[in-house]
Chain A
Amino acid sequence: MEKAKVSAFLKKYTMVIVLIIVTLFFTWKTGGRMLLPQNVNNLISQNAYVFILATGMLLCILTGGNIDLSVGSVVCIVGAVGATCMVNLNMNIFVSILIMLVTGLVVGIWQGFWIAYRRIPPFIVTLAGMLMFRGLSNIVLDGYTIAPMPDNYLMLFNSYIIDFFRGERLNTTCLLAGVLAVVIFVANTLRGRRAKVKKGYAVTSAGSDIIKCAVIGLVIVLFTWRLAQYKGIPNILLWIIIIVLIYGYITSKTTVGRHLYAIGGNEKAAQLSGINTNKVYFLAYANMGLLAAVAGMVTIARLSSASPTAGDGYEMDAIGSCFIGGASAYGGSGTIPGVIIGATLMGVINLGMSIMGVDANWQKVVKGVVLLAAVIFDVESKKRAK
């Protein structure tokens, strides 16, 4: 490959490469403990909320670098409402889930209204939301922690998909699912390539496609193999995959997704092209409320409790993941796969440092440095492109 191609490749996959290097670094530093089956499993269950929140946060950031500071508090109030329903009021868990989703959506609609139709700066609206909903959760919980959650609720999130083959030490279903995922991915890549060739459009070089398939396939197989050695596929992983697939599809394939990018790229031009910019802002923030509700459900399930301090600082994890994952601080660019890489990188750094026994304060310092470095890289590389 020529030099230009190599540098283009490096630029496109910088964060993937960084993620691999960081993972290898921690594996080495922890003497391999980093990749023990249980730790791989923890990586998912500990960071589930980050994946979910970051997905919604990306839509807000796409509209022009706007963030939602309230998500941590929304997670808390949704958890508080859900726990009250399920534990104190003994309501059916599915009704309670519905109530939680509606709560989140109402919060999203409230904030979206002010941001989109009254043009109050998102920073202010969501800062106000951050205070209000934190306070309201305290009021709902009366300052106490509600625990434990009903077993059938916990089952939904915390258990594992059963192994249909009853493997002794290896969860065969999990491994098969991994292989299936690889096959689907490779087939999809091939099909897209063939369709492009048939219509005479430019295709990426066969080499880079093969490398892409090989690397992703390998990662998926290794990942599911590790999970299979533990308890199999955690339910929460399914939730994450479903959300990621839905939003990945929305952002890359639909007109709504295109509108989000257009507004972030040039709001005035989008408006003069007939895009209802207010509606797009509204949808982004209403949706953020909905996903914050899902994250809230996940959080009370993982902790099996709803406390007044739950969700504290979650907004920063979500925002950080987006920017580390390549979303532009000015809006208009960023992808769901990028955000997933960003969230995973944050998770790996967290987990690696925890295993190493790094002081929690130093962990924050490291995360801050990584975030700053990622955005500096983004801004600088764009300057050079100009």
Chain B
Amino acid sequence: MAGILLEMKNITKTFPGVKALDNVNLKVKKGEIHALVGENGAGKSTLMNVLSGIYPYGSYEGDIIYDGEICKFSRIKDSEGKGIVIIHQELALVPEMTIGENMYLGNEQGKRAAIDWNRTYGEADKYLKQVGLAESSRTQIKDIGVGKQQLVEIAKALAKNARLLILDEPTSSLNEADSQALLELLLGFRRQGMTSIIISHKLNEIAYVADKITVIRDGSTIETLDKEEDSFTEDRIIRGMVGRELTDRFPKREQKNIGDAALEVKNWTVHHQVYTDRKVVDNVSMYVRKGEVLGVSGLMGAGRTELAMSIFGRSYGNDISGQLYINGREVELQNVREAIDHRVAYVTEDRKDNGLILSNPIRVNTTLANLQGVSSHGVIDRDKEISVAEEYRIKLKTKCPSVEQNVGNLSGGNQQKVLLAKWMFAEPDVLILDEPTRGIDVGAKYEIYCIINDLVAAGKSVIMISSELPEVLGMSDRIYVMNEGKIVGELDSKEATQENIMGCILKSGKGE
């Protein structure tokens, strides 16, 4: 067998307050397909960013040994110069440019300032043939489908003389046939001696193509499975991914008092905002009861956020159809204002981009969704506003010098509390929490779980969307599992386990 192409030794990467990677080790042999699996947030992408130089040498601990020498990449160009090329999950192509232009973007062919278009397109066509894409390199990117765009990305990587190809969720936006073709292409590359690292949630695909599987969990390498020694069954992989013990990281609720349905949707279908012929939520029927924590589980891109936002005053999606009932009465929520007026709140997963105004103080953020609560006839009562902000600061134990502190200066956990405060002050009956504990530390997580428990104890309904299975299992009374826009399972908290949630997802994936 050939030797080791890449070795990442004891990689540790810390962000302020979080240890994203803790002594991670990865060995990749020449000519193999090495899969990297783990839950969302386990550290796979961080590891690849370290490798490609996005996090430059010096910002992490440990060594990258590539081709027998220690590498000190300070930017992406450095790693690409060595033939390490990453293809990211979100395609980085310019729609208005041709395939050829995209392939050589930042790597233009020609002398000095003048681009040699003949060479560009000639070379591009050669690589396109290699990936089996029957398009002219002069075609514009916007005129070809996502599957073909993915192939262009790979051709682009080849054009950079890739020796180690890293694919981050390459099939997440592809349909079954395109995915299969892509996997075959990778197997073909392997026969020619190319080394690849593939990151994917689709375990069936990984089991099909990979020679080795490294499992990452909570920033550490758990194990590396070898095709020749271990069996690559999905159950075996899942056990590695989720096999952590559940201790009492979740506060107990004293007594449950679950009432009638507070919010219900029937036959809810939502089309993609941009690609309007794609269904992102497909005929979903679901309900949440008063005093209930409803967990919504699923992989990234399963359509959970789209479902929540489309319910929340049609703030996402196109051509939304289906019925929405609040307290048993059918309603139409045309915009966010109407949703808030019907006492529905949506706490966004992306607190920085969609949730908070970072440049404004806590006071302003707290009252933003319910300004009329602190004003009369359109004039804000500053004193009342301050007292409201103070009240929630104390109630949620937000750590800050004062409510005049800009939210941008707070830690992630405290920002999340301000975001929760904002929506609690809007006095909703149904709260949709989208990834409420993403990127915050364990202590703050516990406090947020306590807040959730208080809310349902007060008779409110909480819909909690989360990619962290332990959290869903630990907090929910009932769990829906979503995959590819559909609800593929409904589990009671008593019967739910990590294995059968993953099972629901995999079964539905195979059913296609």
**Distance A222 CA – B346 CA, assembled complex (angstroms):** 55
> Hey, which chain B residues are within 8 Å of A254, CB to CB?
375, 378-380
> Hey, which chain A residues are within 8 Å of B359, CB to CB?
265, 332-333
Contact of B368 among A201, A273, A276 (CB under 8 A): A273
Minimum CB–CB distance for A2 against chain B, Å: 16
A42: interface (CB < 8 Å) = no
The contact sample of 29 A-B pairs, CB cut-off 8 A, is A195-B383, A201-B383, A202-B402, A253-B380, A253-B382, A254-B378, A255-B371, A255-B372, A255-B375, A255-B378, A255-B380, A256-B378, A261-B360, A265-B357, A265-B359, A266-B358, A268-B354, A269-B353, A270-B357, A271-B336, A272-B336, A272-B348, A273-B368, A274-B313, A274-B369, A275-B337, A332-B357, A332-B359, A332-B360
User: What does the 1/0 interface line of A223-265 toward B look like (CB < 8 Å)?
Assistant: 0000000000000000000000000000001111011011001
> Hey, which chain B residues are within 8 Å of A118, CB to CB?
none
Minimum CB–CB distance for A70 against chain B, Å: 28
B408: interface (CB < 8 Å) = yes
Contact of A272 among B354, B375, B379 (CB under 8 A): B354
Minimum CB–CB distance for B49 against chain A, Å: 21
Binding site for B on A (CB under 8 A): 195, 199, 201-202, 253-256, 258-259, 261-262, 265-266, 268-276, 332-333, 386
The count of chain B contact residues (Cβ–Cβ below 8 Å) is 35
**Distance A261 CA – B357 CA, assembled complex (angstroms):** 9
**Distance A258 CA – B372 CA, assembled complex (angstroms):** 11
> Hey, which chain B residues are within 8 Å of A274, CB to CB?
313, 335-337, 339-340, 369
B422: interface (CB < 8 Å) = yes
> Hey, which chain B residues are within 8 Å of A255, CB to CB?
371-372, 375, 378-380
**Distance A88 CA – B382 CA, assembled complex (angstroms):** 51
**Distance A273 CA – B369 CA, assembled complex (angstroms):** 5
> Hey, which chain A residues are within 8 Å of B65, CB to CB?
none
Contact status A273-B402, CB under 8 Å:
no
> Hey, which chain A residues are within 8 Å of B337, CB to CB?
274-276
Contact status B380-A276, CB under 8 Å:
no
B364: interface (CB < 8 Å) = yes
Q: Given A270-B357, A272-B355, list of 4 further CB < 8 A pairs?
A: A254-B380, A265-B357, A266-B356, A274-B339
Contact status B379-A273, CB under 8 Å:
no
B444: interface (CB < 8 Å) = no
**Distance A273 CA – B364 CA, assembled complex (angstroms):** 12
B386: interface (CB < 8 Å) = yes
Contact status A258-B386, CB under 8 Å:
no
Contact of B315 among A258, A272, A333 (CB under 8 A): A272
The listed residue with most A CB atoms (<10 A of its CB), out of B336, B375, B402, is B336
Q: Tell me the nearest residue of chain B to A263, going by C-beta.
A: B357
> Hey, which chain B residues are within 8 Å of A270, CB to CB?
357, 368
Minimum CB–CB distance for B323 against chain A, Å: 23
Contact status A269-B357, CB under 8 Å:
yes
Contact status B368-A262, CB under 8 Å:
yes
Contact status B357-A258, CB under 8 Å:
no
Minimum CB–CB distance for A317 against chain B, Å: 27
> Hey, which chain B residues are within 8 Å of A258, CB to CB?
364, 368, 371, 380
Would you list the 6 A-B pairs with minimal beta carbon distance, nearest first? A265-B357, A273-B369, A274-B337, A274-B336, A274-B340, A266-B357
> Hey, which chain B residues are within 8 Å of A272, CB to CB?
312, 315, 336, 346, 348, 354-355
Minimum CB–CB distance for A62 against chain B, Å: 12
